[in-house]
Structure 1
Amino acid sequence: MPDRRLRTVDLARVVGLSTQQIRNYEDAGVLPAAGRTESGYRVFGEVHRHALLAYRALVRGYGPVTAARIMRTVHDGDVPAALALVDEAHAGLHGERTALRATGEAMEALARQAPEADGTRAARGLRIGEVARLLGVRTSALRVWEAAGLIAPPRERGTRYRLYGPSDVRDARIVHSLRRGHYLFAQIRPVLAELRQEGGSEAALRSALAARAQTLTARTRAMLAGAGRLHAYLEIVSAAGTTTGSTAGGPGPSAR
């Protein structure tokens, strides 16, 4: 069956876009190059419709920037590089899940290990040796964590001794717990930032984590749907034996 010819307006109606947006997509490489009539009008085909549907599906999961890069790379004829962009996006999402899990684990550890008595003692300010004994670590570990920017206990006036308040002890507990779980400093920083952003409130952080988990799940499903559309489009492109799908020029419906 010959490829059905589509005018610019026909393609725009597929997803409710303007004809100008379709032209922009072609110019940006999001769509393969269109065929042209002898008078210079664009002529699209089914391959363009599938490309448009694939791009719109990718946008929902990968965002417009990554989706456009993927489609441009496909139309440049480098499918492996396009798939590498997909892999990179999934790896980024996995990193977000890892950080989310680390934050949840830190919160659970905090609930198990931080009795109220600790907060009472820390309220007056604990010296580094006291915190080290409380956590069961060396003072050198606390200094390394401080040098890495994970904790920042204030200094006592005059003596310049470190004084750990309740929030400092909490942060040290979280670092200690995650380090025991083999988390890297780079993975621990966003956990602490998340807790501080919520004003130190465990309830607020738990609520934020639950919302973040739902968001990640929705993104994963959207990425899977987008990847499915991309796979279908690549099959069509492969069957056609071209990455452009251009329609030969000649008389026919026209829309610049």
Structure 2
Amino acid sequence: MDLDRSGLATSAVAAASGYSSQQVRDLESSGVISQALRSPAGYRHFTQRHVVELAAYRDLATAVGPVEARRVMREVRAGTVSEAVALVGALHVRLERERAEALAARRALRVIEAEGRGEGTTPEDAMTIRELAKALAVRASTLRFWESCGLVAPERVPTPSGSARLYPAPAVREARITAALRAAGYRVPEVREAIEALRRYREVERPLEALDARVESIGRRGLALLRAGAVLAEVIGDQPRARRRE
């Protein structure tokens, strides 16, 4: 990448990058982009390289969030080449893991969808909390937590010592959808929204649409990470590496 080394004022970099002048100064001061040269009067003199680094930071923030992006932009300058490359590689691994989890959750929902709506239940359809926990590979306490959050609605049946939870087919389905979405990284409020849609419309299309959107979002984040990676490779290659072995 042939970068223009001529001096640029902060306002010019701001206009070219889409950040405000203050944001440009803050990102330079915090080490997110390379340090600018200073004039005798103390004014910053940026280059086209800083504009490119800001574009890389924007893409990185899209891919992994602004807090992590700031950390990565600083860290790639601080360690050895192998450490910096490993840091960037780990971001790709994390995104691929998110994608794999979302696809696995989508497959689980497709299985549930294929089972049909299951109108009405019989005793054979119902599961105890121990049976359901074992089927989902979660703890019974997790099922109780999901119940307290309104994600799963078991029935209570009398027992000699009081009562026990019994999960009819609709509750089992809710628990399976909850497990799938939580495994894909969805927060409890997002899962609750999907479960409430399921209860309203008695279908799993909305959770499936949510997972489709998540997979597409991960794809866009991955593309942004690839764009940032080209610039990060230059940043890593340009940095002197006789540093930090304490």
CA, structure 1 residues 114+78, in 2 after alignment: closer, same or farther (shift >3 Å)?
same
Structure 1 match to 2:166: 163
Amino acid at match of 1:8: T
Structure 1 match to 2:57: 55
Amino acid at match of 1:165: P
- 2:216 is the counterpart of 1:211: no
* Pair member with larger Rg: 1
Amino acid at match of 1:5: G
1:1-256 map, 5 Å: 3-114=5-116, 116=118, 119-122=119-122, 126=123, 131=126, 141=134, 145=138, 147-150=140-143, 153-157=154-158, 159-171=162-174, 187=183, 196-198=192-194, 199=196, 200=198, 201-235=203-237, 237-238=238-239, 241=240
Amino acid at match of 2:170: S
Residue correspondences, number:
223
Q: Check whether the contact 1:58–1:230 (CA below 8 A) recurs between aligned residues.
A: no
CA, structure 1 residues 40+195, in 2 after alignment: closer, same or farther (shift >3 Å)?
closer
Q: CA deviation at 1:22?
A: 2.1
Q: CA RMSD in A?
A: 4.1
CA, structure 1 residues 197+215, in 2 after alignment: closer, same or farther (shift >3 Å)?
same
- Residues 48-99 of structure 1: CA distance to partner in whole angstroms, max 9, x if unpaired? 3443332233233233222211211233355544444433333332232222
Q: CA deviation at 1:120?
A: 1.4
Q: Check whether the contact 2:81–2:241 (CA below 8 A) recurs between aligned residues.
A: no
TM-score (normalised: structure 1): 0.66
TM-score (normalised: structure 2): 0.69
Structure with the higher helix share, 1 or 2: 1
Structure with the higher strand share, 1 or 2: 2
- Residues 18-46 of structure 1: CA distance to partner in whole angstroms, max 9, x if unpaired? 33222211111112222223333323334
Amino acid at match of 2:166: L
- Residues 142-165 of structure 1: CA distance to partner in whole angstroms, max 9, x if unpaired? 697452524763432455143223
Q: CA deviation at 1:191?
A: 10
Ranges in structure 1 where 5+ consecutive residues have no aligned partner: 179-185, 244-256
Alpha-carbon distance in structure 1 between the residues aligned to 2:106 and 2:78: 43
Q: CA deviation at 1:216?
A: 1.8
Alpha-carbon distance in structure 1 between the residues aligned to 2:136 and 2:192: 20
Identity, in percent, stands at: 29
SS of the residue corresponding to residue 167 of structure 2 reads coil
Q: CA deviation at 1:114?
A: 4.7
Alpha-carbon distance in structure 1 between the residues aligned to 2:133 and 2:39: 75
Q: Looking at both structures, which has the greater relative contact order when contacts are Cα pairs under 8 Å and sequence separation is at least 6?
A: 1
